[in-house]
Chain A
Amino acid sequence: MDAKDEEFLKRLRATFRVEAEEHIQGLISGIIELEKSPKTEKAAVIIETIFRDAHSLKGAARSVNMKDVESICQELESIFGKLKNEKFLLTAAQFDLIHRTIDNISKMVSGAGLKTPNDNSELIKHLRSITEEDEKEKNVETKTKVVKKSSEGTKKNILAENSLSADIELVDEKLFRSETVRIPTAKLDPIFLQAEQMIQYKIAAAQRTKELKSINDSIDSWKKKLGKQAIHSTAEGGSKLKEIIDWNSERLNELEIKIAEVAHVLENDQRSLGRMIDDHLESMKNVLMLPISTIVEGFPKFVRDLSRSQGKEVELVIIGKEIEVDKRILEELKDPLIHLVRNCIDHGIKKPDERVRLNKPSSGKVTLSFNATESRHLEIIISDDGIGVDLDKVRSAALKSGMIAKDSLEKISTQEILSLIFQSGITTSQIITDISGRGLGLAIVREKAEKLGGSVSVDSMPNIGTTFRLFLPLTLSTLRGVIVRTGENLFVIPTLYIDRVVRVNCEEIKTVENKETIIIDGKIITTVNLGNVLGLVNKVENKLNRKNVTADHLNFIQLIILVHADKKIAFEVDEILEEYQILVKELGKQLSRVHNISGATILGSGKVIPVINVPDLMKSALRTDVSFKELSEKETETKKKYKILVIDDSITSRTLIKNIVETAGYIVETAVDGVDAFTKALIGGFDLLVSDVDMPRMNGFELTAKIRKEKKLSELPVVLVTALETREDREHGIDVGANAYIVKSSFDQSNLLEVIKKLL
């Protein structure tokens, strides 16, 4: 086949798959509905719908040349056709067969397990038997039917009426469809990102307006000063001077008026721009609101299959699936919901005979109820009428995993025991099945809920049932977070977890049982260094060095006390910056989960700041034993530290060199080019410079030459690191006064450190 044709067919098949999935979904929900209520008037409408679905699917399959799908749909269509025209009821076994058939179609459509034609023909044979069996029965019945004919006639009338109303519904649906456009979500996501990114420019515009106003303010004070001068100068009688001053004030007035005009217009522009951006973002958020039905569509089928495979009878009731929720929340929600429903069936609901023994209806009931609260939250209640959580099993599992000590077991309340099931490693299941019982699931559910800014709780009554309650925001709302600095790194800590922020004197920190603690409100709280817990050891050492050097005016330390699951820990940080409204984003596809970090946020300036996962951090903090004092003691043992300035315009090279030099135990500061470096060198008191050559504004050669000319710095050793490899370049470097010249192509950690060691 021609490549073009192949490409075309491929595209066609992709379109077909989307269409087919819709029909298949329609078939599945229709059949499940029919199985539940086979005799009601609704049944006729359902049959009509599934008949059409089967018919359309058949046609679509024919157009893409999928003969297997086509022929099997033909059989389904004739069964449904028969159902439609002559009322007869399908048996449970026949329902099973139809479900199996649809499963098969779905597999064939997705191209997953390509079924052998043999398998298919087997199914077709079975399907055909349904219609044929009925045929036989009817032949027997024909005679009796004649008598019944009159009543049959009225029945037909009812049916006709029903199909009429179905037709009306269909018309409505068509109208609705013509106003809807199908857009792949992959296309919507970047638009949403762009809308979000515009906030950055909204903030920037507001900033510019402010700046312009402050320019005018400085002009104003300039004018005032000039006015005073004018009074003095007239007193002194300098008419020429007065003339100059007058002329200047006039120009200043004009300038001030012009700037004020621009500022005014800019302010208006900025305001309408801001409003537009907000509105746009709001509309984009609405576009991304999808009904819950988009994720729970497959649930009835899933529940049916799972309960059948375990020999249980379970009815699933879904309430409130029309509620619209942010697509990004829905995406995250599907797996936890599946897990919770699975949990109800696996652990909660027992086999029919056991249920009957407990005086319950043989069929279990799982309810999935969605409810939008007034506080713009989504409340999800997953409940079952099963046996409830076996508290004794949870207790013994918790004991076994060492989560609680034996003697404290009696003190723990029932509610606390229940909440233990969200801990990873706790399972009450005797056998580990492939779907649950590994004790990880509920921990993941809790983690997901917390990540979305929500919570999960559980309630259980023995032999009455278990209820899980998820409480989530409807939109991926912005979170409030405080930005903190440790060393050179900034992090966001969600305000939700912050108990308080305090500044304390170093002296107040006491070592208890080899742990740093502080007493706040009469309670002893463990104190750790944030950078230390996060594993930023270099930076902490660096900071401590500085601390040793200038110990006298660093008596105060900044603590931020975090609280999670009734535990409080004080984290030492270098600085607490502002509190912001932030939007937590994923770290990208590659970083699926990183310790202590839940995501990242983008500031108005475009800067990316990691967001701390506080529950994780608290756990890490308890594991970190290297205490603050130990570190500082270790530090004081070592001798004087040299200070080195690293200059490179490339951020990666700069960071790389900095890390190498820092790891070797030097104190490092950085500069981005020669101009920056020279200013820093003048005041920084450095012992050595490591500089790139090719840089904007002032290159490495110029910088070296300038340093050699400056009296204060003339003795400062300079190491040039460069991509320029020729002899002339090397000579040029020596000419301007560099002490060492390292060529980038042969650069490595050891030769740089060797050179530094030699020069110091």
Chain B
Amino acid sequence: MKKTRTELEQENLDQKIILHEDERNTILKARAQTLAVEIKDVTTKKDFIEIMEFSLASETYGIETAFIREVYPLKDFSPLPGTPPFVLGIINVRGQIISIVDLKKFFNLPEKGLGELNKVIIVQNEQMEFGILADAIQGTCSVPLDAIQNSLVPTIEIGTGYLRGVTSDHTIILDAEKILSDEKIIIHQEAE
């Protein structure tokens, strides 16, 4: 009597299970190994940072989203006389006054290229809050920490202190915490 297909398969299966114990062990071991790797992956997940990418004068920059309060369209601003050039002026964000910083001027980058400059990224930590001028917002993404290179690309003239590094896509990741807590960014002109 001819065996049915299911019976054949069952036989094959039995054979595999019963006959190849060594093979079974190797399979299990391999599985265990893959599993072990996966667990390791889970633990390294922490080493990702979420950044928002934006363009500024033909370069792409990234800022950790943890420091971003909101992005605000720049329609109008009031310049303040007597402030250093990197302070563009002040804006009204729903009744709150926010100052705007031109990072290009703050970093002393050459005035090359002209962008739209009509977005303000409001960054904050516990002590500080201000807006950063940007051309366009490109979106957010997660970047693994080990993909950020600390060796600096020669074209970057920003002081090393303000950067976390550069990704493989040439996104320059700014160190928001450093910029926010930099004393040079605070304007305090005592009465003379």
Which residues of A does B touch, CB under 8 Å? 190, 193-194, 196-197, 424, 443, 447, 489-490, 534-536, 585-597, 599-600, 602, 606-610, 615-616, 619, 623, 650-653, 655-657, 721, 723, 744-749
Contact = CB atoms under 8 A, between A and B. Distances in A.
Contacts, number: 143
A653 B80 contact: no
A122 B117 CA distance: 62
Contacts of B76: 607-608, 651
Nearest to B130: A590
A587 B129 CA distance: 11
Contact of A610 (B78, B94, B111): B78
Contact of B128 (A534, A590, A602, A608): A590
A573 to B, nearest CB: 14
B88 A590 contact: no
Contacts of A588: 90, 96-99, 129-130
Interface residues of B, number: 45
A749 B90 contact: no
Chain A CB within 10 A, most for which of B75, B110, B117: B117
B80 A650 contact: no
B56 to A, nearest CB: 11
25 contacts: A193-B95, A197-B94, A535-B81, A585-B96, A588-B96, A588-B98, A590-B101, A590-B128, A591-B83, A591-B99, A594-B187, A595-B82, A596-B82, A608-B77, A608-B78, A608-B97, A610-B78, A651-B118, A652-B88, A652-B116, A652-B133, A653-B114, A653-B115, A655-B79, A747-B112
A653 B186 contact: no
Nearest to A199: B95
B95 A594 contact: no
Contacts of A447: 191
B90 A600 contact: yes
A608 B187 CA distance: 19
Q: Is the interface of A mostly helix, strand, loop or mixed?
A: mixed
A593 B111 contact: no
Given A593-B189, A652-B116, 4 more contacts: A535-B81, A588-B130, A655-B79, A656-B117
Interface in B155-187: 185-187
A747 B113 contact: yes
Given A597-B82, A747-B113, A651 B90 contact: no
B110 A748 contact: yes
Given A596-B81, A596-B82, A651 B128 contact: no
B58 interface: yes
Contacts of A748: 110-113
A593 B97 contact: no
B191 A602 contact: no
Contacts of B191: 424, 443, 447, 615-616, 619
A656 B96 CA distance: 25
A403 to B, nearest CB: 13
Contacts of B91: 608
Interface in B100-125: 101, 110-118
A588 B80 CA distance: 13
B87 interface: yes
A449 to B, nearest CB: 14
B22 interface: no
Nearest to A198: B95
Contact of B90 (A587, A593, A616): A587
Contacts of A585: 96-97
Nearest to B102: A652
A628 B88 CA distance: 27
Interface in B58-80: 58, 74-80
Contacts of A652: 74, 77, 88, 116-118, 133
A653 B117 contact: yes
A473 to B, nearest CB: 20
Nearest to B190: A593
Contacts of B75: 651
B94 A744 contact: no
Contacts of A534: 81-82
Contacts of A589: 127-130
Contacts of B95: 193-194, 196-197, 602
Interface of B: 58, 74-83, 87-88, 90-92, 94-99, 101, 110-118, 127-130, 133, 185-192
A735 B81 CA distance: 42
B90 A744 contact: no
Nearest to B101: A590
A190 B70 CA distance: 14
A607 B78 contact: yes
Contacts of A194: 94-95
Contacts of B189: 593-595
A592 B188 contact: yes
Contact of B186 (A443, A536, A592): A592
Given A534-B81, A535-B82, A590-B186, A193 B92 contact: no
Nearest to B116: A650
A536 B81 contact: yes
Contact of B58 (A443, A653, A745): A745
B92 A591 contact: no
Nearest to A654: B117
A424 B191 CA distance: 9
A226 B54 CA distance: 60
B92 to A, nearest CB: 5
B27 to A, nearest CB: 33
A193 B93 CA distance: 10
Chain A CB within 10 A, most for which of B58, B114, B189: B114
A285 B77 CA distance: 28
Contacts of A606: 92
A107 B86 CA distance: 40
A50 to B, nearest CB: 33
Contacts of B112: 746-748
Closest 3 A-B residue pairs measured CB to CB? A652-B117, A197-B95, A534-B81
Nearest to A602: B92
B79 A489 contact: yes
A194 B92 CA distance: 12
A60 B76 CA distance: 52
Nearest to A592: B188
A587 B128 contact: no
B118 A587 contact: no
Contacts of A747: 112-114
B74 A597 contact: no
Nearest to B115: A744
A589 B181 CA distance: 11
Contacts of A745: 58, 113
Nearest to B187: A591
Contacts of B133: 652
Contacts of B80: 587, 591, 594, 597, 610
A650 B82 contact: no
Contacts of B77: 608, 651-652
Contacts of B88: 652
A592 B96 CA distance: 15
B179 to A, nearest CB: 11
A482 B57 CA distance: 39
A721 B114 contact: yes
B190 to A, nearest CB: 7
B117 A650 contact: yes
B113 A591 contact: no
A715 to B, nearest CB: 27
Contacts of A723: 115-116
Nearest to A588: B99
A671 to B, nearest CB: 15
B104 to A, nearest CB: 10
A589 B191 CA distance: 18
A627 to B, nearest CB: 19
A590 B114 contact: no
Contacts of B111: 748-749
A745 B115 CA distance: 8
A705 B110 CA distance: 34
Contacts of B128: 589-590
Contacts of B117: 650, 652-653, 656
